[in-house]
């Protein structure tokens, strides 16, 4: 029996414990997996369509933007540590990997604290 991979991929992404973001070139969140709620306290539908920069910790914004520029220039960036602001106002320490596509950046976040 053939497996419909196109139908399976979204289900697999939502089952992951890591948060997966797809961010467009305007820094708008185009997609985020359901794990975002555990990491940031927001449901996926609350984040989708908003700027990813709205959730970045102000002290990490410059270095995170430099990493984004690096990725947009075709250089993947793995194991980058930064902080995001949770819905409850607390910090979320993350370990981030980005990869670039033609139109989107794919970001995978996992808790850096365990």
Backbone angle region of 41, left / alpha / beta, with phi > 0 → left and psi within -120 to 50 → alpha: left
Q: Per residue in 68-105, pLDDT tens?
A: 777 777 777 777 888 999 999 999 988 877 666 544 55
Q: What is the CATH number of the domain that holds 88?
A: 3.30.450.20
Structurally, how many domains does the chain consist of?
Answer: 1
6-49: pLDDT as tens digits: 888 888 887 878 888 888 888 899 999 999 999 999 999 999 99
Which residue range forms the structural domain that includes residue 16? 5-111
Beta strands in 11-61 (DSSP E): 19-24, 29-32
């Amino acid at each position: 029996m053939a497996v419909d991979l196109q139908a399976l991929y979204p289900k697999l992404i939502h089952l992951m414990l890591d948060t997966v973001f797809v961010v467009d070139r305007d820094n708008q969140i185009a997609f985020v997996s359901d794990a975002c709620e555990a990491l940031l306290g927001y449901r996926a539908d609350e984040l989708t369509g908003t700027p990813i920069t709205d959730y970045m910790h102000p002290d990490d914004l410059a270095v995170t933007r430099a990493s984004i520029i690096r990725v947009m220039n075709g250089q993947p960036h793995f194991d980058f540590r930064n902080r995001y602001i949770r819905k409850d106002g607390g910090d979320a320490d993350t370990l981030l990997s980005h990869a670039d596509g033609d139109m989107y950046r794919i970001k995978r976040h996992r808790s850096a604290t365990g």
